[in-house]
Amino acid sequence: MGDNFFLLTLIFLIAKSYVVSRFVFNLEIENVMQELILFLANAGSIMLILSLVAIGKKETLKWKLLVTNILGTSILYFNVVYYRFFNDFITMPVLFQTDNASDLGGSIVSLMNPLDIFLIADFLLIFYLFKYVNFVRNKQKHFKFAFASVLILLLNIGLANIERPQLLTRSFDRQMLVKNLGVYNYHLYDGFLQAKTNMNRALADNSELAEVLNYTESIKRPVNEEMTGAAKGKNVFVISLESTQNFVINNKVDGKVITPFLNQLISQEDTYYFNNFYHQTGQGKTSDSEFLFENSLYGLPRGAAFFTHAQNQYKGLPSLLKEKGYTTSVFHSNNKSFWNRDVMYRNLGYDNYFSESYYKVNSENTIGWGLKDQSFYEQSIPYLKDLSQPFYSKFITLTNHFPFSLEQEDESIPEWTSNDGTVNRYFTTVRYEDEALKLFFERLKEEGLYENSVFIIMGDHYGISQNHNDAMGQYLGKEITPFVNTQLQRVPMIVHIPGETNGRTISNVSGQIDVKPTILNMLGIKPDEDIQFGSDLFTKDPDQFVVLRDGSFITDKYVYTDQKCYDKRTEKLTEQTACEPYIKQAEDELDYSDQVVYGDLLRFLEEKKQDD
């Protein structure tokens, strides 16, 4: 009976991990070899884990097997729930973000599925057999089992490297890692990467800084001198539109306009609209968006810099503007420590952080993740009026956040009617977000805060993940291929300067990495030596090149994603050679930015300045 119990634990864990990997995670299996690799990856790691568990006293083995099964199932399920929204896998830094758990309740519940019960169905049989189990250890059999598990793992790694050369050098591609290493080996490898990155700061030196500076200097594009100082001395509003993708702009659902205010705003001669602007966030989502545009550095391949590297030295927009006499403030009606913002904002140079405690929050003015946008903007007005001008103020909205809840009284348009409730509700909350922004603009005009200001309005990251491709395909009227999905990573980017007369739509390929140099140039500020991976959005000599955090990239002619090259004109696959000149550039760009953050290299920039 003891051997049977051991065998049952082995079979159940292998079956659960394989079924989840194959049918819950959206892992693209293209051939029999990849199918075999996926099975071996899960089987080998579980066999090895159980062989290690079997070491020790036989009297405690059944308890250790039970605990191992519970832990293994829990790891699977945490990844299942996380994957359903983020289309990604948990990393060590994300697991350490336990302070955020209390704010995720509603979202987590909405991600659960009745079929999830099958992940723990095996426990019914195990608990029934548990009291009858007594183990008799056969050391020779145990040794053979452990040896077989090592052979299977070695075979798995060998086949995986044949199928995907340089697999372990692409740590940002977690889909590829899980597909080739399995869920459990992926987490072991992720733990190794976490330990490795913790060493980087201690080992970093000035030579790395020089290398990065040489790179950023080589990719720098000239600013548009016609825009230099175009907003000098004006107040700066940065408004982060939660989960807002660009496909809603100038679009309708069931005949209803989704974003009437934004549509009207971008049609004005005092507004610049960038319609090929991409979010470049990773696991940090909104915090990554903030990190990107305020530092012109990329977020990290794992976790969020707001958590793992909040104590680094940065030369962000708030501190640079503060040096020029700006009052710097951020408005976000969530708990001040959510995503470690209280620590990071202080380090970025903010004078004021108007968090949840500054707002009157009750059951009537909240929905989903917190304070409704209309109440958020309205309650922010008194604080804005008290700020010394010129000021730099960032607003982070909440209402258009998954699971996109909204009370009927706040609905300007009804939910869509597909079979996907998430997508249906998304249009309604975007419409609410748009109306709230319109009312905010009207209030700013009433308070005399509009004319002498410049407004940066930007989507922070995607709202609809790949897990909703069927509904999105129905709405767009076409299949959501990897090419189309990459194009859906475009978010609105609007620069509104009251009194400007040359506003227009600009179609250069650009991204969040470009916002910091754009704002600095519009304000007529030329910072001392700095590390910036972006360029002025208004440049007349754009590089037409944007890198996404997963290693995908977009040019004016091609889209590269999932290790495949697409022609933008035909939206079809094209020869890989067309994208090859950019592949190394994309990898270098992400690697150099990671070096800056992991090594805290900007501290050497200050030392260099003092030496000079």
CB atoms within 10 A of CB 349: 20
DSSP helix/strand/coil, 30: coil
Q: Is 501 a catalytic residue?
A: no
Q: Which element (helix H / strand E) includes 582?
A: helix 580-598
Nearest to 533 by CA among 583, 592, 587: 592
DSSP state of 387: S
Nearest to 126 by CA among 72, 80, 51, 67: 67
Measured CA to CA, the distance from residue 131 to residue 142 in angstroms comes to: 23
Locate 371 and state its tokens. 């304070």
Nearest to 464 by CA among 505, 416, 394, 512: 416
Locate 158 and state its tokens. 């060998």
Locate 553 and state its tokens. 């990239």
Locate 525 and state its tokens. 């500020």
Which residues 6+ apart lie within 8 Å of 563 measured at CB? none
Backbone torsions φ then ψ of 13, nearest 5 degrees: -65, -40
Given 68, 286, 308, 328, which residue is catalytic?
286
Measured CA to CA, the distance from residue 392 to residue 375 in angstroms comes to: 21
Three-state secondary structure along 347-375? Answer: HHCCCEEECHHHCCCCCCCEECCEECHHH
DSSP state of 252: E
Measured CA to CA, the distance from residue 510 to residue 591 in angstroms comes to: 19
| Burial (CB count <10 Å: 0-12, 13-18, 19+), residue 566 | buried
Which residues 6+ apart lie within 8 Å of 447 measured at CB? 381, 384, 385
Measured CA to CA, the distance from residue 159 to residue 370 in angstroms comes to: 48
Nearest to 30 by CA among 548, 471, 551, 563: 563
First-to-last alpha carbon distance for the chain, in angstroms, is 76
DSSP annotation string for 377-403: HHHHHHHHHHSPSSEEEEEE--SS-TT
Locate 49 and state its tokens. 């884990």
Question: Letter for the amino acid at 86?
Answer: F
Whether the CB-CB separation of 277 and 492 falls below 8 Å is answered with yes
Which residues carry out catalysis? 286
